[in-house]
Each structure stands twice: as C-alpha cells, then as structure tokens.
Chain A
Amino acid sequence: MSVSRIVVEKRVFGVARWVVIAVLVIVTVFPFYYMIELSFVPIQELLLHPDRLWVPIQDFTISTYQTVLKSSDDGGEGFGQFMANSGVVAISTALITLVIAVPGAYAITRLKFFASRQISGLFLAVYMFPVIIIAIPLFVGFSVIGLSDSLVGLVIVYIAQTIPVSVHMLRSYMRSIPESIEEAAMVDGASRLRILRSLIVPLSMPTILSTGLYVFMIAWNEFLFALLFLTADRNLWTVSLGLSQLANGIEVPKTILMAGSVLLTVPIVVLYGIAERWLTEGLTSGADKG
C-alpha cells in the first residue's frame, strides 16, 4: 500500500517538477523576449500584427535604436544623453560609496569602539523606514538649498541609500578574514590604516568589486528620487526617468521606447552575468546557516 503510494508520488512529482520548471522559465523569460522582439519592429507592424511572437525578416529594423539614441535636436529621443547621465550617476555613486563604506565596514567588524553596536543597530533601522518618509524632507530641503535640480544631489541620496547594504556585504566577508593575519602585521609594527590598505583591501577585493557592482545596479535602476529631483530638466534625465516620462505620453511610438528599455536593461544584465555568483552569495550570506 504505502510502497505503491511512494511509487505514485515519485511519478507525479517527477512529471510535475518539469512542468513547474518549464512554466517558471517561460513566465520569467517571456517579458524580456517580448521586450527585445518589439524593439526591432516598426510601430505600424506591431499595430497590424499584435499577436506576432517573432519578427519576420522583412520587418526587422534597427531604426528604433537610432531614433531613441539621437539627441532631441536631431529628431531623436535623447537616450544617448540619458545613458551618459545614468552612467555618471551610477559610477560616482559606486566609487564614493566604496571609499566610505570599506573603512566603515572594517571599523565595525574589527574595532571594539564604544558605539559600534549602536551604529550597527542604526543601520538596521534604516531598512525599516519607508523611502518616501525621507523623500519628502529631502525634496523640500534640496529644492531650498538648490541641490534638487542636479545630478550631485541625486548622487548624495544614492550614497546614503546604498551605504547600509554595502557595509553589510563587506562586513560579512571581512569577518571571515582571520584576525591572526592582522595580529602578525601589528607585531611587525603596522598601523590599523596600513593593515586596512595593504592587507584587508587586497584580501577583500572580490567582495569590494561585487559590492561596487551591486551599488552601481541600484543607482542605475533607481526611479523615485530621479523623478522627484530631475523631472523639470530633460537634459538631466536618467534612463529610468526618461523612459517613464516618455512612456506616459503618446507622442513617442512604443517600439522606439522598447528599444530604450532594452538599452536600460542591457548594462544591468551584463553586470549581473559577470557578478552573479558573488552577488547571490553576498545577499544571502548567513541565510544558509539556518
């Protein structure tokens, strides 16, 4: 009786498992496929054949990409400029965040100064607050001091938002570096700063790089603060903001914007492809310990 139940269950789950995998893969991947597909067709073709799931070779076009990248003076949508803005913002955010977070993470990991516990607690609390609650005062304050219509203001906000998670990722790695290495260096007379520069930073390089990539991705993807700060000045738009602003209107054909959303997505997917293993390990570190 129970033996046959085992056999039945094994057979059912053996089949169900592949069905689940197939459905999940289709559901996750299809929107990305659809994005790429539509980015290569003229809008008239989409309106004529909305149910087409591939691009016939005679309809294939890259004019969507040309139009979306050209500046608006040349009759394009200016995504070239938007990508440059996003790139500047995301790279500066990643670099400055690392310069600040690496020493911070090291101090919190190793040095037992009095406020370390409170500061860690503070970092946790930061996760709890709705972003919108800091958005209101920052929006008001930055517009009063004149930082709200600039990429500098945006970078400052992004640094503050990504520092807690950066410190967490760096710290969970630095904790695994044996203290005995540092003690040996100290016996040789190295200072803390020297140890940080010539021991900890080289040893943590893979984690530092993946943290930097992660911060880059957060800054590149961010939407709310870009919307609050930059909407008024089209020259400052990031790719995310540009796409969302143009998507609201009816002037720009949707397949051209689809090319824009491919341009928005590709850098992230490439970086994720490079750093996937590090990133998932960094994010879930600790979760596997039960």
Chain B
Amino acid sequence: MSVQTQADGRTVAPRGDRPAGGARPHGRARRSPGARRDNLTGLGLVLPTAIIVIAVIIVPILWNVVLAFENSTYLTVRLNGIFNTPTLDNFVGVFTDPSFWSSLLTTVIYSVAGTAGSILVGLVAALAFRAPFRGRGILRSLMLLPYVAPVVAVTFVWQIMLNPQFGIVDALGKDLFGWQSPANLLAKEPYALMTVIAFEIWRYFPFAFIFITARITALPRDIEEAATVDGATPTQSFRYIVFPQLLPVIALLSLLRLIMNFNKFDDVYLLTGGGAGTDVAAVRVFNTLVGNSDIGGAAANALVLSAILGVSLLVYMKFFGRRVTES
C-alpha cells in the first residue's frame, strides 16, 4: 500500500517531494492550451473507471450507512426506495448482543494469529530458498499453489482431509498414533478456530513468501560478506544485517494481511460456516443478512466493523506509519 502511496507522490509531483510540487502542474494546466486538452482527454480516459468504482463501490458503501440507520426489509426498500424511517435500533441491537463481542474477539484472534503465522512461515521459507539449488524455481512455483488455487476447492479438500469418517488425517491418526475417537477438528471448540487459523497460514504464507523473497533477492550481498569475513555467525548476520532490512516489508505485509484477515469471509464460511467458535465478523454479518434477513442489523454490524478497522489503522499508522511509508 505504501508502495503505491509513494508511487503516487512520484507521478503527481515528479519534480519535488514538497506539497507545493503538487500544485505546479495545476498552474501549468491553466496556462497552456495543450495541457488543458490533456486535462480533458485524461478525464475522458479515466471516466469509465471512475464511474464503475463510484457506482458499484462508493455508492453501496454510502447506502450501507443509510441502511444501518433504518429498519429496512426487502419489502420496504422495494416500496419506498432508499429512504425509510430512521432509527438507532440496529446499533443498539449490535452493541447489546453478547455474541457480537465474542465474535469480535474471535476475529481479532483469527486475524492476529493468521497474520503472524503466515508471515513467520513465509519468512522461514524465503530464507530456506535463499541460496540457489537445482529445482529451486519449480519448487518455488509449487509453493504458491495454495495462494492461487480456488478457495472453494482447497477448503473442500481440507474438509475431506479432516472428515472424521474417511478423512486421511483421522485415518493416519488411527494407524500411526492409535487415536481412539475421531478428532473432528472442524467441529469442536477450540480446535475449529485453530484449524481455521492453520488453514489461513497454509493459504497465505506464499503471499508473504513472494514479498519477502523479492526483497531478499534485492539485498546487497557485500555487507553480509564483510560481516562473515569479520567472523559473524549466520544467526548474527541474520539478526543484525538481514532482518533489519526486511522490517519495512514485514511491516507492510502485516498491515495488508491484518486488513484482509479482519474482513475475511470465504475461508471461514466454507470451512465451518461460522460454527464451533469460529464466528468471525464477516461470517456473522452474512448470517445476519441471509439467515435472519435482517438488512439493517447486517448493515449496522458491517459499519461498526469498518469503524473498528478504520480506527485501528489510524492508531497503527500513528505508531508504525513512518516505518511503513519508508518501505
């Protein structure tokens, strides 16, 4: 994300980092007729993109806010259009429901553990694949399979692997370790949440792996070589030379993964449907919308989540912002 922000700075104000640089093209645009024509062309070229993003993303987000303050059903929306009688009931409903708070806690545990786990495994993988060996390219590509494969297919395979009657996990558990009863890892608390987190790590460590690998490949070798000559051990040179240079990309990854995991729906819904203590926020919103047909409740719930995410991001940027934007 910061990569893009920095890139924006570069495209908008190519001749200076100061805010004043951003105003310069503006002034020039007024003066020369060629630049004004460019302005119109540019608007025309970007218009379709802007229209579809506004119509299908921005307007729905705003409408979600409206819906959260109404007691709407499909019928009232069909009859009265966008505006119905305003009410605060939905928010009262959200905040007074104890299951909302437990779902929030589950979401936080899921996001943090999933993020930390996938980045840690991705980092270990990137280090293990650092030195070249025969077949490295092929194995590296294989490592990305969980990330690119369709989520419905991989969750289905995991469900079958963990199936208590004929899944390979239980079968091998019986054969090798003499398990007496089915482990049923997707249906029992607290194993279900742990399994869902394990799935998250399995599916997203490749994402961390490619980002960290891209950074590691670009690291200058000479500092490490000098350190080796001076007698630094491999752990020392990782601790004091490699790791500090990876911190910015790790901070960026943490941010991206935390946002994605906090909003995660597919993986959890497909694995457990939100049962057995895996009722993460987005699954809860979905079940409110589809299961209970409670549009207002779902909208209020989603809005509260976005607000929580937004505030957490602001706090995060306040403390780690410099590190992330440096990356």
Contacts and interface: CB of A to CB of B under 8 A. Distances in A.
A9 B232 CA distance: 11
Interface residues of B, number: 118
Contact of A220 (B150, B156, B157): B150
B129 interface: yes
Contacts of A53: 168
B145 interface: yes
A101 B49 contact: yes
Nearest to A16: B128
Contact of A172 (B5, B7, B127, B161): B7
Q: Which secondary structure dominates chain A's binding surface?
A: helix
A91 interface: no
B224 to A, nearest CB: 13
Contacts of B25: 112
A109 B313 contact: no
B235 interface: yes
A124 interface: yes
Interface stretch (A43-51, A55-63, A72-80, A203-211): A43-51
A5 B232 CA distance: 10
Contacts of A100: 48-49, 52
A24 B64 CA distance: 42
Contacts of B38: 111-113, 192
Contacts of A128: 259, 309-310, 313
A25 interface: yes
Interface residues of A, number: 114
Contacts, number: 329
A89 interface: no
A168 B161 CA distance: 38
B153 A130 contact: no
A5 B231 CA distance: 10
B170 A50 contact: yes
Interface string B219-232: 00000000000010
A3 interface: yes
A228 B67 CA distance: 18
Contact of B41 (A29, A121, A133, A193): A193
Contacts of B171: 50-51
Given A6-B233, A120-B4, A290-B218, A50 B165 contact: yes
B189 interface: no
Contact of B128 (A24, A34, A46, A112): A24
Q: List 6 tightest A-B contacts by C-beta distance, closest first.
A: A111-B42, A104-B49, A160-B56, A286-B3, A51-B171, A112-B25
Interface of B: 1, 3-8, 10-12, 22, 25-26, 28-29, 35, 38-39, 41-43, 45-46, 48-50, 52-53, 55-61, 63-64, 67, 72, 74, 77-78, 121, 124-125, 127-129, 131, 139, 141-146, 148-154, 156-161, 163, 165-168, 170-172, 174-175, 202, 206, 210-211, 214-215, 217-218, 231, 233-235, 245, 248-249, 252, 259, 262-263, 265-266, 270, 281-282, 285-286, 289-290, 295, 298-299, 302-303, 305-306, 309-310, 313, 327
Interface of A: 2-3, 5-6, 9-10, 13, 17, 20-21, 24-25, 27-29, 31-32, 34-35, 38, 46-47, 50-51, 53, 100-101, 103-104, 106-117, 119-124, 126-141, 143-144, 156-157, 159-161, 163-164, 167-168, 171-172, 175, 191-193, 196, 217, 220-221, 223-224, 228, 239-241, 243-244, 247, 254, 257-258, 261-262, 264-265, 268-269, 272-273, 276, 280, 283-290
